[in-house]
Structures are given as structure tokens and as C-alpha cells.
Amino acid sequence: MRQASNLLRGVACAVGLCLSGTAAQAAPTVEVLHWMTSGGQAKAMKSLKDDMESQGGKWIDTPVGGGSSEEALTKLRARVLGGDAPSSVQLKGPLIQEWGALGVLQPIDDVAAAGKWEQALPKSVAATMKYKGQWVAAPVNVHRLDWMYANPAVLKKVGITMPATWEQFDTAAAKLKAAGITPLAHGGQAWQDASLWEVIVISVGGPAFHQKALVELDPKALGGETMQKVFDRMRKLRGYVDPNFSGRDWNLATAMIMNGTAGFQIMGDWVKGDMTAAGKQAGKDYVCANPPGTDNAFLFIVDSFAMFKSKDAERLAGQKLFARLLMEPRFQENFNLAKGSIPVRTDMKLDKFDSCALAASEHMAKTVKSGGFAPSAIHDMAVPMAVKGAMTDVVTKHFNSDMSSAEAARRLADAVKLARE
């Protein structure tokens, strides 16, 4: 395989030599700042690098370890302040707009037009990739946040099925509790509390309420009665969690599903990546379903790479090549198989994907039409980070204390207002 790609690179170089004469050693170069460093993700990035090199490009890898965006964004700030921005950075949602407003992003309209991106992507995804109507970023995947997982063996043992309403969920939880099984596997970290909350917001209030409260940040919706109902539901779910949940990582909660000590987990589809890594099969060892009330909803998280301006011709060429490769079906397939998400292109064959991914893809097509395809606020797709942080604070405080729902809704409206000013 490596020999083949080396050969290809050789051929590509030779062709380049013939065509461009003296400018031969000028290879299109791209420097990619990212934090996809865990097993499956690193593998996916490697396939992208190989693609790039087989086309005669040069790849400069700038990974930031730890799997979180904070250090990478700090590094990006320093690089941009120093006038030496990397060609491409893993960025998403409103952050693309924030960087766009600083005038440091590179439009790639020609690549998007040539690849017919507009037709291949859902409208709301395309909108987040553009700054003032110009394409400045390329998307690589769609994660769905509102998923519910269960272990079929456990369900069978206590004689329940996947609940479709919250009343059914309550009944199922009572049965699980009676059998000595934790009804809800949850990790007690602030972002996990907030993720669960966002699922409940769209489940109890519906996509229109989610849009009004968590995207448009309407104070009445944030502090109103529907929001109080959301917090009522959160309080109930709190009673289904085992006492040791504080500080637990999400993958430890997933392990509780796998080894049968817990009934359900409500969490994004990265859970699937972990299940697959543990050798579990969708439909057999675990099942996935829409959480109650989310049949017409899809909370999406789209990972993407934004392009940064450069004066260097080689870097600009490399950037364009890189953007083109990102959107090619071949990469979309390799990358998403490794990451547990689904391709962002709606025009792809999904033969190699599992039943959960196929269900997600179908659901995405349905909700894009119905208007339930909603950006996740807690996962940086809809609101600035300060607002997301303010929401997270209130939600986690409510979940970890005996605060009343009315108080929580009032504090939510206040905190969001303060963060927006």
C-alpha cells in the first residue's frame, strides 16, 4: 500500500516536472492544526494525509494532544497574532464566524463550486461553512447528539422494550431499579449534564422551542414555563442515576451499558465508536433508538476544517487540494467509519455503515425536510462559547443540588443575558 502511494507520488511529481518546468519543487503544502489524536481519529487523518501525498501535496501535521479544543485554540490565537496562521484548522459552528469577523479566513468558493458542495450538503450545514456568503470551511461529518442506547440482554431480563414516551421510560426505570440495575448511565461532568439537558429541551419543547430558546436565546423561552417542565424532567432523571456518577467519564457510563449494570444511556453517537472498539455489534450487543419525544428531531454537530489566509502560493494551492479531498466520498467514508458519525454528504452510498448509522442517515434526511434538523448549542454549533458556558453552569448547578425548576429557569435567563451583553 505504501509502495503504491509512493509510486503514485513519484508519478505525480514526474508529471508536475514536465508541466511546470522550473517551479518543480514547489509542492502544494498544507499545514493542518487539529486535535484528532485518538486511535480511530488518527487513522482517519492518516488516510487523508496519504491521499494528499499521492496527489503530490506536502502535509505538515500540527496535532494538539488531549482530544479537546482548548489548547488548540490557544495555540491558534498565538499563531494568528504572530502573523503565521496554519493553513487549515479544525473549527466549527459560530467559531468560524468569529474568526471570519477578524478577516483572517480564506474563501474557497472555486473549490466548493467545482465539487458541487451546495447540492451535496444540507442547507443549515452549508450556512455554517460560509462567512458572508463565501465558503471558508469544509465539513467532514455529522454527529447526532440525541441518541439513546440500551443493552438488549438487560431489557429482556426485566421484561421491557425501548421506551417511546417519558411515561414508559419512568415505568421501565422503576422495573430496572427493582431489579437492582441503575436505570440511567450518566457521567457527572458539566458538559454531560448540559448535553442531556439539551436533548430534554428538544424532546419536551420540540424543535421550534429549541430554536427559540437555545439558538435565538429568547429570554421568555429561556425563563418560561416550558423550560420549567424541562427542568422537572431533569430532576426526575437525576433520580435514575447511581450515587457515584460525579466526575465519571462518558465512556465509563457506556461501559455500564456494555456490562449490564445500567439500563439506558442518552448521549451522542461517539458512544458507538467506543462500542465498536470494544467489539460490540449494533442491533445485537446494543440497540440504539430516538430518546422519547425526539422522533422529529436531530441535534447535529458538524466537525469542519476552516481555511486561513496566506500569502504563499504553495500554501494556497495546498489548501485547495486539501479542501477538495475533505469533501470527497472516499475520505468521508473512511473518516466516519472510524469516528462513529455519518458522512455530511447526503448523496453517498452507505453500504459499509452499521444499522445505527443508517438509521441516523435516514433520520437526518427526514428532519432536514421537516425542520427538526437543529444545531446543538452545547456542542458549539449555535451560540458563542460564553453563552454555552453560562447555560452549562446553570444546568449543572440544578442537576447537582435541590434547586427548584422555577429558580433554574429564572437563573438560566439571567445567566444567558449576562453572557450576551
Residues that bind other proteins (CB under 8 A): 70, 73-74, 77, 80-81, 98-99, 102, 188-190, 193, 242-247, 384-386, 388-389, 393, 396-397, 399-401, 411, 415, 418-419, 421
- DSSP structure string for 208-266: HHHIIIIIS--HHHHHSHHHHHHHHHHHHHHTTB-GGGBT--HHHHHHHHHTTSEEEEE
State the minimum distance, in angstroms, from the CB of residue 289 to other proteins: 28
Closest CB to other proteins among 148 and 185? 185
Angle at which helices 39-54 and 329-339 cross, to 10°: 160
State the minimum distance, in angstroms, from the CB of residue 137 to other proteins: 17
State the minimum distance, in angstroms, from the CB of residue 64 to other proteins: 13
State the minimum distance, in angstroms, from the CB of residue 415 to other proteins: 8
Closest CB to other proteins among 79 and 366? 79
State the minimum distance, in angstroms, from the CB of residue 205 to other proteins: 23
DSSP state of 21: G
Between the CA of residue 77 and those of 30, 57, 86, 106, 323, what are the distances in Å?
Answer: 19, 26, 11, 16, 22
Closest CB to other proteins among 51 and 380? 380
Closest CB to other proteins among 37 and 246? 246
State the minimum distance, in angstroms, from the CB of residue 397 to other proteins: 5
Sign of the torsion angle spanned by Cα atoms 43, 48, 51, 53: negative
State the minimum distance, in angstroms, from the CB of residue 340 to other proteins: 24
Measure the CA–CA gap between 192 and 304, rounded to whole angstroms.
22
Closest CB to other proteins among 339 and 398? 398
Backbone angles phi, psi at 402, to 5 degrees: -110, 35
State the minimum distance, in angstroms, from the CB of residue 98 to other proteins: 5
The β-bridge partners of 63 are 34
297: left (phi over 0), alpha (psi -120 to 50) or beta: beta
| Antiparallel, parallel or unpaired: β 29-34 and 88-91 | parallel
Residues 149/286, Cβ–Cβ less than 8 Å: yes
Closest CB to other proteins among 40 and 188? 188
Count of CB atoms situated within 10 Å of the CB of 6: 12
State the minimum distance, in angstroms, from the CB of residue 192 to other proteins: 10
Question: Hey, what's the torsion of the CAs at 358, 360, 362, 364, to 10 degrees?
Answer: -150
Closest to 76 in 3D by CA, of 92, 93, 90: 90
Our CA angle for 100, 101, 105, nearest 5°, is: 25
Closest CB to other proteins among 77 and 330? 77
Closest CB to other proteins among 111 and 267? 267
Count of CB atoms situated within 10 Å of the CB of 281: 11
State the minimum distance, in angstroms, from the CB of residue 407 to other proteins: 11
Closest CB to other proteins among 166 and 308? 308
Measure the CA–CA gap between 105 and 275, rounded to whole angstroms.
37
Closest CB to other proteins among 18 and 81? 81
